[in-house]
Amino acid sequence: MKKWLVAVLFGAVLALGACGAGDDNASDDTGTDDSNGGAVESAAGEEVYKANCAACHGADLSGGAGPDLAEVGSKYSQAEIEDIVTNGKGSMPAINVAGEDLDALTSWLSEKQ
C-alpha cells in the first residue's frame, strides 16, 4: 500500500513540475518576422505551449491534469489569459513565461475558439 502511495505522489510531483518548467536555453527569436505573417508567431506560441503547458493541458489542448483549452479564446480575452498564466488560477500555479514568449503564447491561445 505504501509503494502505491509513493508512486502516486511521485507521479503528481512530476506532472506539477512539468507544468511550470521553462526552457532557460531557449533562443530569444520568437518569430515576429512580418514576412511570414502571423504563421511564425503562431508557431512560436505553440512551441511555448508545448514547453510549458502541454504536460497538464494536453498536447492537443484536450485537457488532462488541467482543463481543456481547445476553446479557451471564446471564454477569455488575451489579457485574461495572460493574467491566468502569470498569476495562476485555482489549482494552476503561476507559469514562468514572460516577454515575447508570453505574448506569443497568449495570442495563440486566444485564437482557440
- Known binding residue 53? Answer is yes
Q: Which pLDDT band holds residue 31 (cuts at 50, 70, 90)?
A: very low
Cell of 37: 505573417
Higher pLDDT, 17 or 49: 49
- Judge whether 93 and 16 are in contact, CB under 8 Å: yes
The count of residues in the chain is: 113
| 3-class SS of residue 104 | helix
Q: Which fold has domain 2-21+33-110?
A: Cytochrome Bc1 Complex; Chain D, domain 2 (1.10.760)
pLDDT digits (tens, 9 = 90+) for 64-105: 999 999 999 999 999 999 999 999 999 999 999 999 999 999
Is 19 marked within a binding site? no
3-state DSSP assignment of residue 101: helix
Q: Per-residue pLDDT averaged across 35-51, rounded?
A: 80
In degrees, rounded to 5, the angle at the alpha carbon of residue 14 between the alpha carbons of residues 8 and 16 is: 100
Phi, psi torsion values for 26, nearest 5 degrees: -70, 145
pLDDT of residue 36: 54
